[in-house]
Amino acid sequence: MVGPMYDCLANPLGAIRLTFEKAVGSGCEPSAFDGKDWGALDVFREFLVDQGNLSQVPVLNSETLKWVQPNTLVRFRGMVQDMLGNEFYAGAYKDGSGWRTNKFGDDSQQPIDSSPDVRVWERRLLYCVPVPGLNTWAESEAASEATVTSMDLTSQQRDKRQRMDAESMDYEVCPGSNIVLEDSPSAKRMREDGHPSLSVQLSDLKPEGPCSSTMMRPEVGDSPSCLVKVYDTRESELKLNDIFEFVGVFTIESEPVPADDGDDIDLTTGFRNDLVHLQANKVPCLHCIVHRKLAVSDFLRSSPIIEQSKHVVMNTRESLLRHLTMLLGNDGVAANYMLLHLLSKIHARVDNVAVGKLSLNLTCLSKEALSVFGVQLCNALRNLLPFTDSIPLTVNYLNTACLGPKKDYQRNRLIGGTLQLAEGSHLTIDETQLETGTLNSVGIENARLLKDLVELQKVEYDFTYYKMEMAADVQLLVLSEGKSNILPADIVLPVRPSDVSRPEVVSAEALGAWRWYLATMRTLSHTIESEIQEVVEKDLVAARQADRRIGSKEFSSLLTMGRLMSLSFGETTLSLEHWEMVKELEKLRKERIN
Amino acid sequence: MASDSSPARFNNTPSSPDDSAFSSPIGDTISSPAAGTSRRNKRGRGRSAATPPNNHPRFAGSESTPTPLHHGGRPPTPSSTSEGAPSSEAGDDMDEAAPTFVWGTNISVQEVKSAIQMFLKNFRDAQSQGAEIYEDGKYMKAIHRVLEIEGEWLDVDAHDVFDYNPELYGKMVRYPLEVLAIFDIVLMDMVSQINPLFEKHVQVRIFNLKGSTTMRNLNPSDIEKMVSLKGMVIRCSAIIPEIREATFRCLVCGYFSDPIVVDRGRISEPTLCLKQECQAKNSMTLVHNRCRFADKQIVRLQETPDEIPEGGTPHTVSLLMHDKLVDAGKPGDRVEVTGIYRAMSVRLGPTQRTVKSLFKTYIDCLHIKKTDKSRMVAEDAMEIDSSTQKHDEDVEFDEAKLSKLPDIYDRLTRSLAPNIWELDDVKRGLLCQLFGGNALKLPSGASFRGDINILLVGDPGTSKSQLLQYIHKLSPRGIYTSGRGSSAVGLTAYVSRDPETKETVLESGALVLSDRGICCIDEFDKMSENARSMLHEVMEQQTVSIAKAGIIATLNARTSVLACANPIGSRYNPRLSVIDNIHLPPTLLSRFDLIYLILDKADEQTDKHLARHIVSLHFEDPELAQQDVLDIATLTAYLSYARNHINPQLSDEAAEELTRGYVEMRRRGNFPGSSKKVITATPRQIESLIRISEALARIRFSETVEKHDVTEAFRLLEVAMQQSATDHATGTIDMDLITTGVSASERMRRENLVISTRNIIMEKLQLGGPSMRLLEILEELKKQSSAFEVHLHDLRNAIATLQTEGVVAVHGDNVKRV
């Protein structure tokens, strides 16, 4: 057992150094560790996973940033927003007689008489930002509890925490619902609202929880962006826009890079780009020891209570559908479509076709109507899904906003646009505010970007000399008065609200169950039996014979709906019953359109 | 070269082989260190290295310091050529007589030297081998040429080095700093042998390495190695003058010091006047005019899109350019760079001697080549893209194999847009367009285009646009535009005023930009009349002529046009002709070689196909579907090879078949016993046929057009014409439909109508008598001729004809005989 030997939390570098010295001491040449680990990772893995200490590691956010000591272990959840290439560093060097390592640290105390006994190693620089559109509940849950499955919390603690979360959620739901949605993304307001409720909870928590968790309980606020240095990973492991949890050594690069002194000027004028722009003082830096890719479900509380039994799924589906129906003014059809929409996820790409997307355009929404349930809807979505964002589509917004990510060569950084979203984000576009006006070239470009996103689920990144298309997986909900011309959604559905009811207060248990339901069901795999396939094909052919306007696009959305319908029941094969339901739904929708 | 000079030479270069590598040869030829002024340290490559003086030993540039005393020939300096140094250092324990080695390696300096000498003297091209055995080798000739033009560098193809001496090549790539230093020395020796008076410093530039790496594969093991990579220049710094030699003047007595050479990135400023009589302290000041500077530039290179894996952002790397390489690349250029990958440590602060544990990496550029062939630097005559040639040879092998397949034509057809099923004949036509025919220019100046133009007309939702997109992706060059968004000038060329110089400049439009490529125009029917009319010239003459704002020019636009259009009223009306359906002027329509109608027939079989396709898309692993097709990369390679290398000629047999078929087609228009003559083929068709059959031969990689190519061409043309030029009244092909928009049978009908109308008017109306209403005439007509239907519309046309003949006068609906 190595456990007690090292203080992984407060002095991770010490642990790293010790393991390194041990490894070297046992006769290994440092050159053997080029791009390899010498056993330090095992120590940390054991500490974090096997001993379940992940929750003790403070989460890096604006609050913790104030007191977290450099060279201690922290964790950070964020989206890879930009990749800054590789960095070479003196990984191991001989200091006097012994070898020392620089890995996972920024040891600038390298003596000037650098011996030739320097192993140059490389690490990758990733610029990570908090997940765009991350909702308060997901943020707080991410911070408050560890999602590592092996984490061994006593059930007592868990219950308490859940109760606590539940209360805070009640707070979140109510106040937000009366606020009229305005231009600015209202997530910020949500946070403000969330604040008091959470701080109230804090006092409750203190006496009960393990003492470390009190300090982890964050004041929910903007987490900072973070420069993450990743060691020894394959390139394919970390992709742009992926969400990761990094655990590593926290440092702040202390000195601004100076640029004077004769010779340095020439070099820095050219080479400055890599580091200076980051304003090292502002951006915290994390030397990643362990990283883990996060899926949507990782932002939920791991919920072993909810068994994936058919019964539970059915019940959850029912109650969620009821909730959605209520939200949409007692419009059952719209609620059904909304449910399918929320479950959609791209599962394959063939050429230019993103299979599995189901963008929804709710029409017949005037500005007034929107102020009633548009806001309700947005708030509800925010409570259901971990990452949501909304765009008010006005001429002014289109003309000024920076939707597509763009590379800024002056700063050598990728400037993230609004459309640089993590996989599985939900984006609401409110077109009801669109008035007549003239689009300038920026506006046209932005409209095109949105259209591409809706049609192809791709976002074009502008690298000035060329553009690159990046695949996206974003659920798109368009709210408009008539059928949206800018954004050709898969499903156009006029809403027929019959009754506007006050939003009910949703219990936290139900919310938790719904979140779990939406996150889990969408990841299920799906197949089709050959008999059903026959039926489906026949139906499609018949539909096309009846109406020549039906083309491959309509076929695609029908099949997607079929798939999502059976997923919504927790089934992994398409059954005839569900297929009939889809056809019925489509029939009702067609009637509304005509 | 005299062997005794070599140790001395190396004395100059102990610890900074790379600095000295490029500067030392001069130092050697001039034996006295005092003659430093004439030392032309133009080659600055090594300079950069000298900047951070204290970090990495090999960067400790004691550039061309004549005395070995104070440069750090420290024992561990990995790269110092420690031989022969009259060593005052502990590490130089080598015997003077022993063969000298590059430190830390088993590279013997002498061996390398002689290897390089042998290579330069004896290397001959494979082609010239044997034939011109008495002639000088390739590089001897090159050296002579360099001397003649007073050049400053010698380009050396790394492939040649490899062919001649693989061992030398290996050493060069692994220890470029050392080997290049020796290379330069050998070269200078040879130069001074040939022309002792030659003053310039000739350097070696290596290019075309055997293996090129990508930016993201650069890793620590590449440091100090020679690498070659491709990328795109994104930023160039301003030109940085870098001091090489400094001259100081005493403020007290006006004494000028000897030029002081940069030593390890620093100029040691004399603290007191060197003049014996003066010796004033701290009086020396820098005289800028007397200093020598070299150009330096820092360039950022970024990965090209094709090298970026999914979910990654482009990597960048810095290049250091010196002297002649400065400004060799502009932002936006795609270049291939050969250079030495270097890492440099960063000092904590300008005054601190400690360094950060980080390294900055960059590439010391040796050679830069623009990969865009058309813009290749003209002066680098030796660079006629031999790398791509080599590449071609491999590809050629694969493709020759491919082209031998009996079903290559079908296979290519299948591979074209595999996710669009059916439409095989359309795809065949598009394939022909991609391969293209031969352009021909007669001595008389008449030219015939080789490009095939295709128009797709069809119902919405028949994947026309997808086909277009696909072809656009595949075609070697090309622009994709949409009809509605294109203006006439946007397609051809426009004149704008340069904001800086206020001069009028010509900007190319889409058609000009897709010269030698395919210009895809979507929504052709929605194009403005004005824009469309610009296409007339492009599609037949293949040029764009402009006369505006003081610029009169004719630009080449040898482009194939692939257009697609929706019929008027969104659905194709089979009762109307193509012209009526798409509302395009016949003059333009006739310029399309192939016109395909893609109709959405209510065919259950196709629907089933579609349904199955989409179901499988949703529920099956997309990887499993579609084998047996060529991927896009292969297809493109095949295509470009064929386009560049195969120029098929008509065989006699094929020509005969062509003539026979054409006559046959013409004859079909003559119905025995009928006065009406239908034109079924025009000379334009025979040109099209030639083009198509040439393209078909190209697909097979065949240099001759065979008879079956012509037969297939006829079939393709017929399929296309049958769809578009069939006269629905008679069921025959009628080219008049396309060339004039009116079929022969229709014209007959109209003439008949005019005659019978005239008869009625002559009968019923008196000269100057009462007028008659149009509807009454219509009634009469219907009574008389029950054979065909008469519409009011047709009648009006007929009356209008009569009016021009001066038979009748029309007032509103009333017809009066005059």
pLDDT digits (tens, 9 = 90+) for A18-72: 888 887 777 667 667 766 777 777 778 777 777 777 777 788 777 777 777 778 8
Q: At B475, is the secondary structure helix, strand, or coil?
A: coil
- In this structure, how many other beta carbons lie within 10 angstroms of the beta carbon of residue A3? 12
Residue of chain A minimizing CA distance to B104: A116
- The answer on pLDDT for B34 being more than 70 is no
Nearest to A447 by CA among A492, A488, A414: A488
What chain A residue is nearest to B58 in terms of C-alpha separation?
A116
Report the residue of chain B nearest A272, measured CA to CA.
Answer: B360
Per-residue pLDDT reduced to its tens digit, B444-502: 766 777 788 888 887 776 777 778 877 877 776 777 777 666 677 777 777 777 666 66
* CB spacing of B56 vs A114 below 8 angstroms: yes
pLDDT of residue B438: 77
Counting one residue from A and one from B, how many pairs have CB atoms under 8 Å apart? 219
Q: Output the pLDDT for position B439.
A: 74
Give chain B's mean pLDDT. Answer: 70
Q: For position B77, what pLDDT does the model report?
A: 37
The pair of three-digit structure tokens given for residue A471, joined into one six-digit string: 């695949």
Q: What is the mean pLDDT of residues B761-777?
A: 74
Q: Nearest-5° angle of CA A192, CA A193, CA A197?
A: 115
Contact B219 A86 (CB under 8 A): yes
Chain B interface disruption, residue of A106, A242, A271, most B CBs within 10 A: A271
Report the gap between the CA of B604 and the closest CA in chain A (Å): 7
Query: pLDDT confidence of B125, banded at 50, 70, 90?
Result: low
User: Average pLDDT for consecutive 10-residue bins of chain A (594 residues)?
Assistant: 59 80 74 71 78 76 75 84 81 72 67 60 84 75 44 37 40 36 38 37 33 32 72 78 85 49 38 43 76 76 59 84 82 87 83 80 75 76 84 85 81 79 86 80 84 85 79 86 79 79 72 82 78 82 76 81 86 84 87 81
Chain B residue with CA closest to A406: the answer is B313
Q: Of B344, B466, B611, which is closest to A537 when you measure between CB atoms?
A: B611
Average pLDDT over residues B44-62: 36
Contact at CB, A269 and B240, closer than 8 angstroms: yes
Q: Is residue B590 scored above 80 in pLDDT?
A: no
Strands B248-250 and B284-286: antiparallel
User: Is a pLDDT exceeding 80 seen at residue B319?
Assistant: yes
Q: Cα distance from B215 to chain A (closest Cα, Å)?
A: 10
Please give the residue of chain A at the shortest CA–CA distance from B305. Answer: A468
Question: Count of CB atoms within 10 A of residue A343's CB?
Answer: 22
Q: Which residue from A minimizes the CA distance to B299?
A: A270
Q: Using a CB-CB distance cutoff of 8 angstroms, which residues of chain B are in contact with residue A470?
A: 311
The closest alpha carbon to B742, from B592, B601, B628, B577, belongs to: B577
Show residues of chain B in contact with A531, CB under 8 Å.
Answer: none
| Minimal Cβ distance to B313: which of A82, A271, A471 | A82
Nearest CA in chain B to A525: B619
Listed as own residue / partner, the contacts of A575-581 with beta carbons closer than 8 Å and 24 or more positions apart are A575/A532, A576/A532, A576/A535, A579/A532, A579/A535, A579/A536, A579/A539
How high is the pLDDT of residue A149?
34
Asked if A572 reaches chain B (Cβ–Cβ under 8 Å), the answer is: no
Q: Contact B358/A235, CB-based, under 8 Å?
A: no
Res B87: pLDDT: 37
Q: Which residues, other chains included, contact A446 with Cβ-Cβ below 8 Å and sequence gap of 6+?
A: A398, A399, A401, A403, A404
Chain A positions touching B619 (Cβ under 8 A) are 526-528, 533, 559, 563, 574
Question: Which of B223, B310, B316 is nearest residue A120 as measured by Cβ atoms?
Answer: B223
Q: Which among B77, B234, B344 has CB closest to A409?
A: B234
Eight-class DSSP state of A372: I
Residues of A in contact with B268 (CB under 8 A): none
Least Cα distance to A205 among A196, A195, A216, A194 occurs for A216
Using CA atoms, how far apart are residues B780 and B735, in angstroms rounded to an integer? 34
Helix (H) or strand (E) holding A230: strand A226-231
- Check if the beta carbon of residue B364 is closer than 8 Å to that of residue B320: yes
User: Which one of A119, A260, A270 has the shortest CB-CB distance to B318?
Assistant: A270
Model confidence pTM above 0.90: no
Sheet holding A458-462, edge to edge: A413-415, A406-408, A458-462, A467-471
Token pair in block for residue A303: 């919920």
On chain A, the residues whose CB falls within 8 A of the CB of B346 are 257
Put simply, whether A350 touches B (Cβ < 8 Å) is: yes
Answer yes or no: do A255 and B348 touch at CB < 8 A.
yes
Amino acid A294 reads L
Q: In chain A, which residues have their Cβ closer than 8 Å to the Cβ of B105?
A: none
- Which residue is listed with tokens 């040429």? B145
Model pLDDT, residue A469? 80
CA torsion sign, B407 to B413 to B415 to B419? Answer: negative
Beta strands in B692-790 (DSSP E): 704-705, 772-773
Interface of A with B in 167-206 (CB under 8 A): none
The residue of chain B nearest to residue A472, with distances taken between CA atoms, is B311
B9-29: per-residue pLDDT in tens?
Answer: 333 333 333 333 333 333 333
SS (H, E, C) A512-553: HHHHHHHHHHCCCCCECCHHHHHHHHHHHHHHHHHCCCCCHH
- Closest alpha carbon to A424 in A372, A392, A387: A387
CB contact under 8 A, A116 and B219: no
In the stretch 525-564 of chain A, residues with CB closer than 8 A to chain B read: 526-528, 533, 536-538, 540-541, 544-545, 548-549, 551-553, 555-556, 559-560, 563
